[in-house]
Amino acid sequence: MKPKLTIVKIGGNVIDDPEMLQTVLKEFGQLDGAKLLVHGGGKIASDISKRLKIPTQMVDGRRVTDATTLEVVTMVYGGLVNKNIIALLQSLGTDAIGLTGADANTITAHKRAVKEVDYGFVGDIDVANINTKKLSFLINGGLVPVFCALTHDKQGQLLNTNADTMASSLAIALSGEYDTELIYCFEKNGVLLDVEDDNSLIRELTYLHFQQLKDDGVIHQGMIPKLDNAFLAKRHNVGVTVKHALNLTSPIGTSLL
């Protein structure tokens, strides 16, 4: 029987709320078995870009990353956000280690090809090249990896990488060695029929239903890449749930079928 591994992804709105972040990190640390955390930080990066008078461009919920924006997200994701999370986890008794994909060559990626949109220095992960041996070494050694949304191309170039994609890719890669569960946590109860109504939770979501809701415009913007990645992991036999960050250890949420 494979050992259990829970991968949790938290987003910018959770990180922006100190009380919510403290609660979710405390519950994360109490999860049974091995665990791994992936975080974004997009809102903080956007706020700092605004203060520095650097324009932010988003397309379908994904950040366009020019050279200057890459400097900002590297400082924010790999520095400010990641190290604050590590310090909080240590204060809560979780022995965590902060990582980018460049650290220990854990996650390599390639610069996204230009099609309809030039996303700039954005990386697409090659799942087969994720260094599961190094990650297992850290996990089995009792450490909790905490990844920010940065990878590298092995040619010295850092790449901004969607955190939802990173979480899904890690879950798929590590599913060969672990019984892997992926939980996407954010500020809503899960996938909602009406984003303004927290009671419109969809408890179980199939891929066909997701496609219908996307075509109807019910699911849009940042939820599209999140659920695209969630269903990709599901197709690789990873258990996937989307839920409110404060319900991390609760059954309330959207389970993917």
Q: How far apart are CA 193 and CA 246, in angstroms?
A: 20
E strand spans, the chain: 4-10, 34-39, 57-59, 62-64, 96-99, 109-111, 123-125, 144-147, 150-152, 158-160, 179-186, 204-205, 239-244, 254-256
- Residue 4 and residue 111: Cα distance in Å, rounded? 32
Query: Annotated binding residues for substrate, as ranges?
Result: 41-42, 63, 160
**Do residues 102 and 158 touch, judged by C-beta distance below 8 A?**
yes
Measured distance CA(79)–CA(82) in Å, rounded: 6
- How big is the CA angle at 25 (ends 40 and 240), to the nearest 5 degrees? 65
Binding-site residue set: 41-42, 63, 160
